[in-house]
Structure formats: structure tokens, C-alpha cells
Amino acid sequence: MPHPSSDATRQAPHAIWRGINQTLKQDSMGGLLLLCATIAALILANSPAAPWYENLRDFTFGPESLHLNLSVGAWAADGLLAIFFFVVGLELKEEFVVGKLRNPRTALVPIAAAVGGVALPAVFYTLVITTSGSSAINGWAIPAATDIAFAVAVIAVVGKFLPPALRTFLLTLAVVDDLLAISIIAIFYTDDLAWLPLLFALLPLALFAIAVQRGVRAWWILIPLGVSVWALVHASGIHATVAGVLLGFMVPVIASKRARVNVGKNKDGEPVYEGLAAHFADRWSIASSIIAIPIFAFFAAGVAIGGFAGLRESLLSPVALGIIAGLILGKSIGITTATFLVTKLPGIELDRSIKWIDLLGMSFIAGIGFTVSLLVGELAFGAQGEEAQYVKVGVLCGSLLAAIIGALILGARNRTYRALQADMK
């Protein structure tokens, strides 16, 4: 989607939608690494190597004076995931400035789907918890998130011939889902807010904003400022990953004379530029999907199941049942129902290439709520204890079942679309 910049040169389409094949390939690799890290964590946590794994995860280091004497697992959740949320912030800003979310009519359908896909899982979890008499209501937001790396990876594997609009719908829904998840973390999972560090964080945040607006890309300037914002936000009591989003929001999207990157020339020989948001998203998304998320998963997913008896106990717990119900039923019903209702409004319709059965399959894929679900679980119940174990079992089993159901539906639809394309040739 070309967008003219202020000096009459041409600007490249923004990162997410510029190359959907590139996005799918990168997220597929990230999803594969995420799966491998999860399997490795589960094997280690349930093998004779469990003490080594737990000692590594619980080993602490860092300056105590700055409240940063954290365990390796906490560094992965608070530190490395900030990279993931920085990329999320960049993508969100791109969406609102030059992407699908700048046009209210175009954005309304996936936004409504995302809201339904966040609200209904929370309702299902709450119903299970309240009817069981459990007091674990604090985990209501655990099944609300969609793991975009896993979700896109599944579609890339089973949906080569699916309509491109379905992939675009999933990506847009996931972006809005991330925004809602970030808001939930910042509002509902922040205790004992310390205002002084939060106010101090505004200074390096402002310096970072000024630097990127002036086109500064030097790592030795931007990274120290970003780390300072992260450390101060962490000290304030707000989850430190929110700092990544704030930093992402500061980066300019539109290419200007100062803040732009030359990405080549068009067929007429004119220079083509992209904004710093697209430039940073392209580069940092690699570190996010290939390094940050798999390492987080490795330390977050390692739950000692305790054999079939332990697995049965965990699966029958209200926490796990609520999460599984939220991820499978809540996501699928919430997304499809919200989409159906909003398309009944005058002038609002689903892309004509997408059939309702395609949307249903995608809604199950959106029930893969791994990374952010595990993060919210840790914020709600901590990293240890019975409830933490139930959270991990619920997230893993719910995400796996949602992926299988969605893959079966979309796999069948993929064969249908492949046959139609073959008939047209």
C-alpha cells in the first residue's frame, strides 16, 4: 500500500503486509522453535534431569539495588519478552497509522472478532471457576490471548491454498488481541504501583522518542535508553514487558527526511523509503521469534506432570478446565459470534473469499494461547505451586486441542481450495 512521504519520494508498504509470505515463513520457523523448546522443557521437567532444569530456571543474578536480582526464568519472562512486546508495539502503531486498523470500516470486523475472542474465553473460565467453588478467579485472562507464532505456523503448514484474506484476518485479529492483552496486563496485573520510578521512566522514554524521530538508529544510543525505560518500568511494579510496547509506540511509521531507510528503487528509478517502525520490526522480529519467545517457553513450560495420575489431577482441576474451555470454546464461539453480529451492520461484511467454515477453523487456531497465556498465568499465580502447574497443563492441553481441531477443519478446506484451483487450470 504505497503512501507518499512529505518530500514526494515513495514509501514502501509497511512491514506486516509488505510480504505476507516472508511473515509466514518467519513465524513458521518461530513456531517450530517454540514447539521444540516446549517439548524440551516438558521432557527435562519430567526426567532425571529435572533438578538441573529447575536449578537453571531458578538461578538468580542481577543487581539487587535496582530490584533486578531475578531468576533466569524471570529474566526470560520480564526481559526477553520485552523484545517480543517491542515488536508488537511497532506492529500496532503501523496498523493504526498506515495499516488495516486506520480505516474504521475495514478494521471493524477483525477488531470485533478480537474483542469477542478475548471476552468469551474470560467468561468461560469464570463460569468454570465459580461453579466449581474455586477461588482461582484471578486467572480469568489466561485463555484470552492468541499466540501468533504458533497460530501462523499452523496455518502455514495446513493452509497453503487457503484464501490470503483469511491469513490477513488472523494477523489483524492477533494484533488487536495483543493490544487487549497488553492493556489487561497493565491494568489488572499490576500491584503496588510505585509512581516515582514510573515518572523517571518518562525521561529516557522521551529521549528515545526524540532520537528515533530524528532518524537515530545507532544501537549504542537506543539500546541503553530502552534498557533504562525497561528497568524503571520494572521497578514501578508494572510488568516490564509494557515498556517494550511504549518504546515501540515512539518509533515513527511514516518515512520523513530525517527518519527513513532507503530500501531500493522502484521500476521508474525513484528511491523507495520505509519508516523506522517497519525497519525495526523487520530486524527485531527475528530476535523475538527465534530467540526471545523460544527461551521464554523453555523456562515457562517445564511442568512436572507426575505421571498419568498427576496429569489426570491437573486436567480435572478447575483452573485447567477453565483454561481449556476458554481456549477451545471461548475463542471459537467468541470470534465467530462477534464476526457474525458485526457483519449484520449496514455496509459491513466479511471478505467474500472467506467462507464461514474457514472462519470457524481459524477461530480454533486462534485458541492457541501459549506465550502470553503462560505469562498471564505467572502474573496471576506465580511461577511455582499447584495452581501454576494447573495453568501450564491447561494452556498446553487447551492449545494443543485447539490446534488439532483448527488444523483438521482448515486442512479439509485447504484440500477443497486446492481442488478448485486445479480445476481452473
pLDDT over threshold 50, residue 163:
yes
Mark 74-104 as b/e (b = at least 16 C-beta within 10 Å): bbbbbbbbbbbbbbbbbbbbbbbbbbbbeee
CB 297 within 8 A of CB 37: yes
| 85 residue type, one letter | F
Strands 70-71 and 60-61, by their bridges, are antiparallel
Predicted structure pTM score:
0.81
- For residues 114 and 347, which has the higher predicted lDDT (pLDDT)? 114
Res. 221 pLDDT band, cuts 50 70 90: very high
Res. 11 pLDDT band, cuts 50 70 90: low
Q: Give the cell for residue 90.
A: 511497532
Q: Give the cell for residue 247.
A: 518504546
Strands 10-11 and 261-265, by their bridges, are unpaired
Residue 66 per-residue DSSP state: G
Mean pLDDT value of segment 85-110: 82
Count the neighbouring beta carbons within 10 Å of the beta carbon of residue 111.
22
Choose among 221, 257, 282: nearest CA to 86.
282
**Average pLDDT taken over every residue of the chain:** 86
pLDDT score at 28: 63
To the nearest 10°, the Cα dihedral for 249, 254, 255, 256? -90
Q: Give the cell for residue 422.
A: 486445479
Mean pLDDT value of segment 87-95: 84
pLDDT score at 223: 97
Beta-carbon-side half-sphere exposure of residue 374 (alpha carbons within 13 Å): 31
Q: Give the cell for residue 373.
A: 497465556
What's the CA gap between 275 and 251, in Å, rounded? Answer: 9
Please name the residues in contact with 225: beta carbons below 8 A apart, sequence gap of 6 or more: 204, 205, 207, 208, 211
Q: How big is the CA angle at 89 (ends 86 and 91), to the nearest 5 degrees?
A: 110
Mean pLDDT value of segment 62-90: 88
pLDDT score at 232: 94
Res. 51 pLDDT band, cuts 50 70 90: very high
- For residues 88 and 73, which has the higher predicted lDDT (pLDDT)? 73
What's the CA gap between 89 and 377, in Å, rounded? Answer: 22
pLDDT score at 71: 92
Q: Give the cell for residue 302.
A: 517445564
Place of cell 523475538: 288
Reported as a single tens digit per residue, the pLDDT across 372-425 is 899 999 899 987 778 888 999 999 999 999 999 999 999 999 999 999 888 776
What's the CA gap between 334 and 94, in Å, rounded? Answer: 26
Q: Is the dihedral of CA 381, 114, 147, 397 positive or negative?
A: positive
Q: Give the cell for residue 380.
A: 496471576
Mark 230-255 as b/e (b = at least 16 C-beta within 10 Å): bbbbbbbbbbbbbbbbbbbbbbbbbb
Residue 353, Ramachandran bin (φ over 0: left; ψ between -120 and 50: alpha; else beta): alpha
Mean pLDDT value of segment 264-284: 85
Residue 365 per-residue DSSP state: H
Residue 126, CA distances (Å) to 9, 247, 387 in order: 53, 33, 15
pLDDT over threshold 60, residue 205:
yes
What's the CA gap between 210 and 207, in Å, rounded? Answer: 5
Task: Count the helix, strand and coil residues of the chain and give each as a percent rounded to the nearest 5.
Answer: 75, 5, 25
Beta-carbon-side half-sphere exposure of residue 211 (alpha carbons within 13 Å): 19
The helix or strand, by DSSP H or E, that contains position 274, with its residue range, turns out to be: strand 271-274
What's the CA gap between 169 and 291, in Å, rounded? Answer: 26
pLDDT over threshold 50, residue 63:
yes
